[in-house]
Structure 1
């Protein structure tokens, strides 16, 4: 694997995430400073908390399903990347997303 390519990709992802975080914080600050109603500020903060929980649940489901997919790849003894191993991992990712959808729907 070419690790020299991984460093710039990671750097770009880190920069983009940092910019997104700063812009979100600036937007929240502007809403609070504009003397928005207390209900608006409360709903903004509660909505953010809910989105964070849902994102954690979503990624937890996907990562768990991917871990099971990688365990399946190991169990079948695949040494090389083949369409079958890719299909197994894509299927695991899809199952993780479906599990998230079902869990999210149940909580509503």
Structure 2
């Protein structure tokens, strides 16, 4: 695999994420400094962000678990080549992980 192309892509993703973090932090600090937002608005922003963070962790945890099960099945059946069946197992695990996340998030809300 040619890793020369992977470095610029990773750099772009990191820079984009850093810019997003800075913009979000500046928005929050401006909102607090101006005092235009009520205390309830600020509290709801913080609680909403906390809930989004927990839901993101839940989603990625379920996806990782589903993909781990899929890779274990692939290993157990001894599939060594990349075939449409192997890709279908991985896609099915990803779909089931997302559906499991949706069901859990609806139950928790």
> What is the DSSP-based 3-state SS (H/G/I as helix, E as strand, rest coil) of the residue aligned with 2:5?
helix
> What is the DSSP-based 3-state SS (H/G/I as helix, E as strand, rest coil) of the residue aligned with 1:61?
helix
Give 1:77 shift.
Answer: 1.6
Unpaired stretches in structure 1, ≥5 consecutive residues: none
**Backbone CA RMSD of aligned residues:** 1.1
**Structure 2 equivalent of residue 15 of structure 1:** 15
CA–CA separation in structure 1 for the residues paired with 2:13 and 2:81: 28
CA–CA separation in structure 2 for the residues paired with 1:2 and 1:75: 30
CA–CA separation in structure 2 for the residues paired with 1:3 and 1:79: 23
Is 1:39 aligned to 2:23, yes or no? no
Q: Number of matched residues?
A: 108
CA–CA separation in structure 2 for the residues paired with 1:78 and 1:16: 38
Give 1:5 shift.
Answer: 2.1
**Structure 1 equivalent of residue 54 of structure 2:** 53
**Structure 2 equivalent of residue 90 of structure 1:** 91
Is 1:27 aligned to 2:27, yes or no? yes
**Structure 2 equivalent of residue 100 of structure 1:** 101
CA–CA separation in structure 1 for the residues paired with 2:12 and 2:55: 25
CA–CA separation in structure 2 for the residues paired with 1:77 and 1:40: 55
Q: Which runs of structure 1 show a deviation greater than 4 angstroms over 4 or more consecutive aligned residues?
A: none
